[in-house]
């Protein structure tokens, strides 16, 4: 069942390419505009690069969250998911995993190119990608809770941001911190361990919160 729903979501996203193209384009454009607006030197650019990349990735992940459950809610598929003889938490996790594969993973793949453009050392690019791999999946899991809560409220994009941005702060702090430490030649393993711990916590709790939020939205 999990694999079936996961494949279904990937096929739907493939048909609606804007759901992953828009976040990726937003990520690349925002990161590229910062050097043009600030015109900093190479060393200053290196200092602000971790924050620029991570804030841009966080905002890009918000763009497609509103559509995570919207189409299923409008065509009645979400109600059918609730009636399935399978855990609704597993259904929610399959949808989030598919969402991350087409949004968060694309941000991770594009990040080394942007890191080089922002004068990050080559040794820190691996840390950048690893931190985004761990962090963007956590962002998708946390964001899905807000998307499930607001799915019945019409256009709830702003409300989603208000609900989940405070929960994004720890991921942002440890993700940007890992890249910053690596850029200065320091060991970033501690920050990455915290990101991994946050991901494990999100994987453990978020699917059940998503299931509960879907049921609340459908009542």
Instruction: Say if residues 15 and 5 touch (Cβ distance below 8 Å).
Output: no
**Mean of pLDDT over the chain:** 86
**What mean pLDDT comes out for the span 143-151?**
87
Provide the whole-model pTM: 0.89
Interatomic CA distance for residues 125 and 111, integer angstroms: 8
Question: 3-class secondary structure for 156-219?
Answer: CHHHHHHHHHHHHHHHHHHHHHHHHHHHCCCCCHHHHHHHHHHHHHHHHHHHHHHHHHHHHHHC
| Chain segment 23-77, per-residue pLDDT in tens | 888 999 988 888 787 767 778 888 888 889 999 999 888 887 877 888 788 777 7
| Chain segment 152-204, per-residue pLDDT in tens | 776 656 777 788 888 999 999 999 999 999 988 888 899 999 999 999 999 99
**What mean pLDDT comes out for the span 97-119?**
88
Kindly state the helix (H) or strand (E) to which residue 94 belongs, with its residue range. helix 88-102
Residue 104 has pLDDT above 70, yes or no: yes
**114 or 156, greater pLDDT:** 114
């Amino acid at each position: 069942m999990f694999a079936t729903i996961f494949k279904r979501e990937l096929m739907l996203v493939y048909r609606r390419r804007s759901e992953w193209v828009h976040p990726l384009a937003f990520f690349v454009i925002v990161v590229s505009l910062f050097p043009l607006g600030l015109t900093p030197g190479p060393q200053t650019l290196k200092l602000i690069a971790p924050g620029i990349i991570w804030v841009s990735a966080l905002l890009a992940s918000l763009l497609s969250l509103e559509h995570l459950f919207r189409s299923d809610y409008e065509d009645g598929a979400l109600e059918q998911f609730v009636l399935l003889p399978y855990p609704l938490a597993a259904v929610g996790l399959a949808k989030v995993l598919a969402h991350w594969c087409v949004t968060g993973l694309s941000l991770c793949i594009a990040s080394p190119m942007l890191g080089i453009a922002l004068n990050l050392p080559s040794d820190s690019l691996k840390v950048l990608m690893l931190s985004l791999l761990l962090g963007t999946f956590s962002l998708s899991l946390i964001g899905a809770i807000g998307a499930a809560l607001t799915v019945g409220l019409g256009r709830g994009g702003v409300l989603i941001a208000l609900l989940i941005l405070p929960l994004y702060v720890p991921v942002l702090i440890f993700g940007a911190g890992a890249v910053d430490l690596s850029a200065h030649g320091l060991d970033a393993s501690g920050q990455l361990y915290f990101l991994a711990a946050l991901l494990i916590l999100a994987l453990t709790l978020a699917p059940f919160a998503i299931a509960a939020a879907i049921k609340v939205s459908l009542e």
